[in-house]
Amino acid sequence: MAKLLIFVNSKELDSITLDEAKEYIIGRAKDADINIRDTTFSRKHLRLYYENNWKVECLSKFADIQAATGSTKFLELVETTDFMIAQYRFSFQLEVSDSKEQALEFNVEEDYLEESELENQTPIEDEDTDVNFQVTQPYLTITFSDQTVNKLKLEGTEWTIGRTDEALVQINDSKASRKHCQISKDGNSFYVMDLGSSNGTYLNRRRMKANKIAPLNSGDIIRIGSTQLVFEMIDESFQSKLLSVPTDALKPQLPAVSAQPQNPYAALQVRSQGGLQTQGAVRIFSPAAGAKKDKKKFIAIFCVTIATLAYLLKGEKTTNTSGVKNLASNVETRSPFELLSKDNQDLVVRFYDQAYKLYIQGNYELALNETRKIHRLLPETGYLDLAVEKDSKDLERLITAAVELNRQKQAIQRSQEQQRQLVEEVNAIVSRCNTMARPGTNIQSARACLAPALELDPENQGAARIIARLEAEEETRRSLAAQRAYTAGQVDKGENLYQQAVNLEKNDRLLDAISAYNRHIASTLPDPNNLKEKSKERKQQISLELKKRIDVLMKEATTDYESKNYKDSIAKLTKALRLDPSVQEAKDLLGSVTNDLNKNMKTIYSDSVLEESLGNIESAKSLWKKIIDTDVASGDYYRKAKSKLKKYGG
């Protein structure tokens, strides 16, 4: 059994049990199967149907389905599938259990709370979960090679990043191009594109293809050389929202005191003999791997704390019974993690597991992105669970250290490798250029060949000797080469004119060929191969051939016209005019033939329409086929007959 749950702003709007034999239209229309009276929806916005499995299709031209995989017009629904239309969330379930619904994947998730919690608690929302419906602003956090950090708010729709002064986001990095990459905004979506940079743009450690756009999500990391840019969608009003939360919503709900503290991080409030209250906290941090030694320390500190508490309670018991009650009501408070909703708790655990997995795999940048998601939900304490040795703050420190160590190691390796490659590259370039620099080699070519070596080693003696030798040879042959080049160029121009005429003749453009031969004959260019005589001969032959072909076509077209073979007559007249558009006789005859053909086709088409109206479809189809056979493809009645035949499957 399948069910569709509809939520708006985290509250359930409707629940529909789906019938596989029925198709459901969702929209604003009164006759819609699932009616939603909201201008967000079109009259017929979605179509939900069963075909081997359940599917949903977006019928609106102006909006897409927002699914975990991104925007789409079509979505197959599996066991548990959630998708969004604006602030409306649709949850498809094949088997609906009594347990609370599961949260969506992180990129479209909201913090769903029970109605009782909504009355007293403001949910903490992750800015990555649903950027389409939060009032968020795009920011870039830029970390330069000297570890200075600059945070920049992006305003507008396009932001060019590079070294040029024209770039909206200017970075001074030797590996950056003048216009390196570009971030753009389309609606509520952001994209990044490499602008054909020399050293490439890296998105989440993967090099982007030049001039190809990629979607940009909050938390994504762009790297240009040694400069890191973190793209974030930030809710600027978050602090004011936090301050506006009612005081009662922040008060923890304290359970009854138990024999053993349920949370080793609970704050302990103890009344001293002086009547003042002091507050302390037992908080043990263990690394992700966790050592047995740290566990022993924790047990020892915890026991000492309990013993101290027992002593103070004993001393207070006889003098102030109410103090004991006050202590019992405050022994155990809820940790920040426990104050989160169940969905956000599940998110935090999932983020931690993913971060730890990425850390073990060596994907430090991605792992750091996951811990940052945790600390947006738990900025002060992070996620801490000693029972399973999980500490997100400690894990983030390990990841950050690994990132820095990896960066330093790579920098040293790059420096050493670059130095070795520098020497090898210079020697290889000079050796190759010396082999190429034979007598007669152009000096500019030699300089271009040696330019990379001189850029790396400006004082290289081998390169200097090659240039000096070629400069001496260049001076002695420059004048002769210039004269030869000029003469050869003039000859080439003449030959090009002749070749143009030949090509036009080969393509049956006879009139254009005659004009081209005339230009060649009239030119004053040198003609060592006597091509001008050939041009004169070809011009005369083409003129005779052109007249002969036109006469034959005109004669055949006239014969066809007289026998009322209009279609062939038009084809031959059209061909004659392509050979020579100035033949007036062909123009006049073409007009007469076309006029008579249209009259004939009009009569046949009128008869076919009459037959069609009388229900004689076969007779009408026969007439339409006759029009197809008789009329030219560009004729109006040809197109009409073809449309009719297509309509009736003829």
What is the spatial distance between Cα 132 and Cα 65, in angstroms, rounded to a whole number? 13
Categorize the per-residue pLDDT at 333 as very low, low, confident or very high, splitting at 50, 70 and 90: low
What is the spatial distance between Cα 546 and Cα 566, in angstroms, rounded to a whole number? 24
Asked if 73 and 83 touch (Cβ cutoff 8 Å), the reply is no
Q: For residue 533, report the phi and psi dihedrals to the nearest 5 degrees.
A: -65, -40
Mean pLDDT of the chain: 79
Q: Is the pLDDT of residue 199 over 80?
A: yes
Give the contacts of 169 (CB within 8 A, at least 6 positions apart): 140, 142, 152, 159, 160, 161, 162, 183, 229
76 or 423: which leads in pLDDT: 76
Q: What percent of the chain has pLDDT over 70?
A: 78
Structure-block tokens of residue 479: 């004048």
Q: Which candidate, 375, 286, 290, 390, places its Cα nearest to that of 336? A: 375
Asked if 587 and 577 touch (Cβ cutoff 8 Å), the reply is yes
Per-residue pLDDT tens digits for 27-63: 999 899 999 988 788 889 999 999 889 999 999 877 7
CATH classification for the domain delimited by 2-120, as one of 3.40.50.720, 3.40.1160.10, 1.10.8.50, 2.60.200.20: 2.60.200.20
3-class DSSP string for 344-411 = HHHHHHHHHHHHHHHHHHCCHHHHHHHHHHHHHHCCCCCCEEHHHCEEHHHHHHHHHHHHHHHHHHHH
Q: Is the pLDDT of residue 619 over 70?
A: yes
- Determine the pLDDT at residue 190: 92
Output helix, strand, coil percentages for the chain, rounded to the nearest 5: 50, 20, 35
Region 374-398: what's the mean pLDDT? 87
Asked if 68 and 104 touch (Cβ cutoff 8 Å), the reply is yes
Q: Is the pLDDT of residue 450 over 70?
A: yes
| Range name among 38-47, 92-101, 454-463 with the lowest pLDDT average | 92-101
What is the spatial distance between Cα 103 and Cα 344, in angstroms, rounded to a whole number? 9
Give the contacts of 494 (CB within 8 A, at least 6 positions apart): 520, 523, 525, 526, 527, 531
Q: For residue 576, report the phi and psi dihedrals to the nearest 5 degrees.
A: -65, -40
Asked if 619 and 650 touch (Cβ cutoff 8 Å), the reply is no
328 or 217: which leads in pLDDT: 217
Other Cβ atoms closer than 10 A to 511: 16
Q: Is the pLDDT of residue 114 over 90?
A: no
Task: Provide the 8-state DSSP code for 210.
Answer: B
- Determine the pLDDT at residue 441: 83
| Range name among 281-295, 391-405, 435-449 with the lowest pLDDT average | 281-295
Give the contacts of 346 (CB within 8 A, at least 6 positions apart): 102, 103
Structure-block tokens of residue 494: 């003449």
- Determine the pLDDT at residue 307: 53
Topology adopted by domain 137-234: Tumour Suppressor Smad4 (2.60.200)
Provide the residue type at 118 as one letter: L
- Determine the pLDDT at residue 241: 55
| Range name among 176-180, 306-310, 376-380, 568-572 with the lowest pLDDT average | 306-310
Q: Taken in order 38, 39, 40, 45, is the CA torsion positive or negative?
A: positive
Give the contacts of 216 (CB within 8 A, at least 6 positions apart): 183, 190, 191, 192, 203, 231
Q: Is the pLDDT of residue 312 over 60?
A: no
Q: Is the pLDDT of residue 295 over 50?
A: no
Structure-block tokens of residue 213: 């756009």
Q: Is the pLDDT of residue 609 over 80?
A: yes
Asked if 56 and 64 touch (Cβ cutoff 8 Å), the reply is no
- C-alpha 583, offset from chain centre: 58
Structure-block tokens of residue 356: 């730890």
What is the spatial distance between Cα 167 and Cα 509, in angstroms, rounded to a whole number? 52
Element (H, E) at 27: strand 24-27
283 or 455: which leads in pLDDT: 455
Per-residue pLDDT tens digits for 508-540: 888 888 889 999 999 989 888 899 999 999 888
Place of tokens 């073979």: 565
Which CATH number describes the domain made up of 552-648? 1.25.40
Per-residue pLDDT tens digits for 116-157: 333 333 333 443 333 344 468 999 999 998 889 999 999 999
Task: Provide the 8-state DSSP code for 419.
Answer: H
**Distances from the Cα of 503 to the Cαs of 291, 495, 496, 581, in angstroms?**
85, 12, 10, 20
Using only C-alpha atoms, what is the Rg of the chain? 42
- Determine the pLDDT at residue 203: 94
- Determine the pLDDT at residue 78: 85
- Determine the pLDDT at residue 224: 96
Strands 24-27 and 34-35, by their bridges, are: parallel
Place of tokens 């795009």: 138
Q: Which residues pair with 46 in a beta bridge?
A: 26, 58
End-to-end CA distance of the chain: 46
- Determine the pLDDT at residue 94: 81
Per-residue pLDDT tens digits for 221-279: 999 999 999 999 887 765 555 555 554 544 444 444 333 434 433 332 333 333 333 33
Region 24-29: what's the mean pLDDT? 93
| Range name among 82-96, 321-335, 618-632 with the lowest pLDDT average | 321-335
Other Cβ atoms closer than 10 A to 16: 15
Per-residue pLDDT tens digits for 541-562: 888 888 888 889 999 999 999 9
- Determine the pLDDT at residue 179: 93
Categorize the per-residue pLDDT at 102 as very low, low, confident or very high, splitting at 50, 70 and 90: very low
214 or 331: which leads in pLDDT: 214
3-class DSSP string for 583-619 = CHHHHHHHHHHHHHHHHHHHHHHHHHHHHHHCCCHHH
- Determine the pLDDT at residue 444: 85
Give the contacts of 370 (CB within 8 A, at least 6 positions apart): 351, 352, 354, 355, 358
